[in-house]
Amino acid sequence: MTEKLCLLLFETAYERIGRRLEKFASMVEFCRMTKDGEIHTDTGTVDAESFDPNLAWLSMDLMYHGKVPDFVSLVTGSDELQWVQTANAGLDNPVYGRIAATGTRLSNSDAQALPIAEYVMAHVLSFFQDIEGRRQAQRDSKWRYRPFREVSGTRWLIIGFGNIGQRIAARARPFEAQIVGVRQSGASHPAADEIVTQSDMLAQLPQADVVVLACPITPETEGMADANFFSAMKEGSVLVNIARGDLIDDEALLAGLAQDRPAHAVLDAFSTEPLPKEHAFWSHSKVALTAHTSNAGSGLLARGDDLFVDNLAKYLAGKPLLNEVDMAAAFPGVGKAK
């Protein structure tokens, strides 16, 4: 009989989907990390120092309970690690470099793409429709005529056209918006009317009514939203950042807002998190900010569970994995997949 693979996951994730995993029980032993950091298997508690998992699921549960560092230490210390599924879309956290250095296969997540797309649409519509102004008129008992801006006919520049960018495009297009995507490959995509590369990005900004930052943070993208970026933006446009705070030069954005380039900024990610209470964004009349929670939709956990179960089945069957990361491209020079 073939020896079972050891899969490490957090106990609350196992409690949620344990029954769905029973069909893999002949091939997999489910090893659960508890909230106290212990490792439990079907036969008892395992010594963490001698523990060598083969597979691991870095689920949202670990982030909620502050156990990511402990979990990552366990998996990166394993000589037998073969594959990790993460709940994250972005891989800029140093823990992923540590995982890459082990030569392990890695799959990221697209579970957050749907709520992030809805978040973007909600905020753009709120600004275009002047929802806050309408509510203020109601509070003031004022019967006011308030014209609003339509999404139809607007041009959207979505910088980063992966799973998240494509979901945003799929929601804006039915409103009859024109979509221009920015992606590294420059390859066309059915969700976009046009695809350009980052080298053509500045030339696109003067025509864009909505600019969405949905790209990973890399040496090429860090700080790209600088003074030149904002001076090129269309007057009256909207900027939405649901990616990483370090994409934006904060002082350059404040200067751009003063010139209505953009006229409104929706910010869900910041260079320093939590955002310091004294930061100018908190009280700025042209800024709507949230605490890096654009992904916090009601279906996030369920989609993450579905992705993991589906990918586990594919892994065990030797089939291509969903969202498998090109480790050589994502972590050049760090390690080669086993």
Domain at 87, CATH number: 3.40.50
Dihedral angle sign, alpha carbons of residues 301, 306, 309, 312: negative
Instruction: Give a yes or no: residue 317 inside a domain.
Output: no
Q: How far apart are CA 27 and CA 43, in angstroms?
A: 16
138 shares a domain with 213: yes
As for how many domains the chain has, the answer is: 2
Contact 293, 268 (CB under 8 A): yes
Q: Looking at residues 255-276, what average pLDDT do you find? A: 98
pLDDT at 121 over 70: yes
pLDDT digits (tens, 9 = 90+) for 33-44: 999 999 999 888
97 shares a domain with 154: no
pLDDT at 162 over 90: yes
| Phi (first) and psi of residue 179, to 5 degrees | -110, 125
Which residue is associated with the tokens 């409104």? 264
Instruction: Give a yes or no: residue 105 inside a domain.
Output: yes
Residue 92, C-beta contacts closer than 8 angstroms, at least 6 positions apart = 216, 217, 244
Q: How far apart are CA 237 and CA 149, in angstroms?
A: 11
134 shares a domain with 77: no
Which residue numbers are catalytic?
Answer: 244, 273, 292
Q: Quick one: pLDDT at residue 277?
A: 97
> Residue-wise over 252-267: b if at least 16 C-beta within 10 A, else e?
bbbebbeeebbbbbbb
Q: Looking at residues 17-44, what average pLDDT do you find? A: 94
135 shares a domain with 31: no
Instruction: Give a yes or no: residue 295 inside a domain.
Output: no
Computed over every residue of the chain, the mean pLDDT equals 95
Domain at 234, CATH number: 3.40.50.720
Contact 216, 244 (CB under 8 A): yes
Residue 324, C-beta contacts closer than 8 angstroms, at least 6 positions apart = 105, 106, 107
Residue 315: closest CA among 5, 3, 2, 78: 5
Element (H, E) at 39: strand 39-41
Among 35-44, 201-210, 248-257, which stretch is predicted with the lowest mean pLDDT?
35-44
253 shares a domain with 121: yes
Give the pTM. Answer: 0.94
Residue 275 is classified by DSSP as P
pLDDT at 214 over 50: yes
Instruction: Give a yes or no: residue 33 inside a domain.
Output: yes
Q: Quick one: pLDDT at residue 338?
A: 56
Residue 285, C-beta contacts closer than 8 angstroms, at least 6 positions apart = none
242 shares a domain with 157: yes
pLDDT at 272 over 70: yes
pLDDT at 143 over 70: yes
